[in-house]
């Protein structure tokens, strides 16, 4: 076991999860997709709904919360709206917030942390590419804008093109990812995209940034997600089975990031390997023990990189690995079982966490991974790689 991380194993548990109504909000009362830019919600309203549901799920109230992590929100404003005065606060993506909350609880700064995300990105017609993208915290997102490459889709198109050239990976193999995730979404009443998708439909869809097609891209929808993380010895006798945070890891590749070298030269496998060397020993498991897997999937190609980088298959063999039903429910390694960001909801890493928690709790009917005891999430965005391993609590 990783000596430095070992003391943090199983010291916190996820005790509550909550999400907004992705599908209902996306379609509105008329049943048709609400147009982008038609303001129906703000991010704080969505976050508030998710937090209320997470607290109800845990059987707790806001008076039990003494720590707060927010994403896409001002922690100060959120606390004011919700009547909270947390002893500790943080911010970041879902994996970062869980890791930081674990460390804060271990340090004695707090005992029960609400992790809350809200994003009215469809209502606000948020631009993730195009002429309106002029800056941001991640330089590689806009570095090449003067030459017309402004979107992450274009960057990941280059990523997959190199994978094709190096390993012979085919577009039909990549399509197996979108088809599998859509199958999973069809079993999830809260998923935005319910219509079945065939490989023929995938291949007939237009290129957005060749070689990536329409169904390789994530959704743009409004939503909110909340998680309640609590000190493990305080997690017993609550409404739900506690799901333990048993392992995590974190590594970044930033040198030459604006030149795209880590992304295109090695598919970020250097960071993958470093995180794998942290997360598996800390949790006391191996990739063979993982029952259900989820990865950040703003684009389908993320899954190829994470499966190869974390040793589920050899580098260059991701295309073959995802075929034949292996990543589908009932397969060897069910992946993104809610539908992920391609078909369930684009919540920038947050919607994967409630799905993994629910898989370990059990009771998901036709979407349930039988006997699931170990779940892994991989966050791989702009050179920042993190991973979480959840296990069933007692």
Catalytic residues: 296, 346
Q: How many CB atoms lie within 10 A of CB 232?
A: 18
In angstroms, how far is the first alpha carbon of the chain from the final one?
A: 21
Cα distance between residue 308 and residue 169, in whole Å = 13
386 within 8 A of 379, measured Cβ to Cβ = yes
Backbone angles phi, psi at 76, to 5 degrees: -65, -50
- Extract the runs of DSSP E, i.e. beta strands, from 152-242: 207-209, 212-213, 223-231
Buried b (16+ CB within 10 A) or exposed e, 260-295: bebbeebbbbbbbebbbebbbbbbbbebeebbbbbb
Rounded Cα distance between 254 and 157, Å, is 20
Residue 174: other Cβ atoms inside 10 A:
26
Residue 137 and residue 71: Cα distance in Å, rounded?
A: 14
- For the chain, how many residues are written? 394
CA distances from 333 to 76, 245, 314, 328, 376 (A): 41, 20, 15, 7, 11
Residue 252 φ then ψ, to 5°: -130, 150
């Amino acid at each position: 076991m990783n000596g430095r991380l070992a003391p943090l194993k199983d010291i916190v548990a996820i005790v509550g999860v909550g999400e907004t109504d992705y599908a209902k909000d996306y379609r509105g009362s008329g049943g048709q997709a609400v147009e982008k830019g038609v303001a129906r919600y703000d991010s704080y309203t969505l976050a508030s709904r998710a937090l209320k549901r997470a607290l109800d799920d845990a059987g707790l109230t806001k008076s039990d919360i003494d720590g707060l992590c927010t994403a896409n929100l001002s922690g100060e404003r959120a606390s004011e709206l919700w009547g909270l005065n947390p002893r500790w606060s943080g911010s970041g993506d879902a994996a970062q917030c869980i890791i930081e909350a674990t460390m804060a609880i271990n340090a004695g700064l707090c005992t029960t942390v609400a992790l809350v995300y809200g994003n009215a990105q469809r209502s606000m017609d948020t631009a993730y590419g195009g002429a309106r993208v002029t800056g941001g915290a991640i330089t590689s997102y806009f570095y090449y804008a003067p030459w017309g490459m402004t979107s992450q889709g274009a960057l990941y198109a280059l990523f997959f093109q190199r994978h094709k050239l190096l390993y012979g990976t085919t577009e039909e193999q990549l399509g197996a990812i979108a088809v599998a995730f859509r199958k999973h979404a069809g079993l999830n009443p809260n998923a935005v995209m319910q219509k079945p998708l065939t490989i023929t439909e995938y291949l007939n869809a237009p290129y957005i940034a060749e070689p990536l097609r329409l169904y390789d891209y994530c959704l743009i929808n409004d939503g909110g997600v909340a998680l309640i993380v609590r000190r493990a010895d305080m997690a017993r006798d609550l409404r739900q089975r506690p799901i333990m945070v048993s392992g995590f890891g974190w590594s970044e590749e930033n040198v030459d990031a604006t030149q795209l070298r880590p992304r295109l030269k090695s598919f970020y496998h250097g960071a993958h390997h470093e995180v794998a060397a942290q997360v598996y020993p800390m949790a006391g498991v191996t990739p063979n023990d993982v029952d259900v897997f989820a990865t950040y999937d703003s684009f389908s190609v993320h899954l190829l990189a994470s499966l190869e980088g974390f040793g589920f298959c050899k580098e260059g063999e991701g295309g073959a690995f995802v075929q034949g039903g292996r990543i589908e429910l009932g397969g060897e390694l069910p992946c993104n079982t809610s539908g992920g960001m391609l078909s369930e909801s684009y919540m920038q890493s947050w919607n994967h966490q409630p799905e993994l928690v629910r898989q370990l709790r059990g009771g998901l009917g036709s979407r349930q991974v039988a006997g699931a005891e170990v779940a892994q999430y991989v966050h791989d965005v702009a050179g920042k790689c993190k991973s979480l391993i959840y296990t069933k609590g007692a």
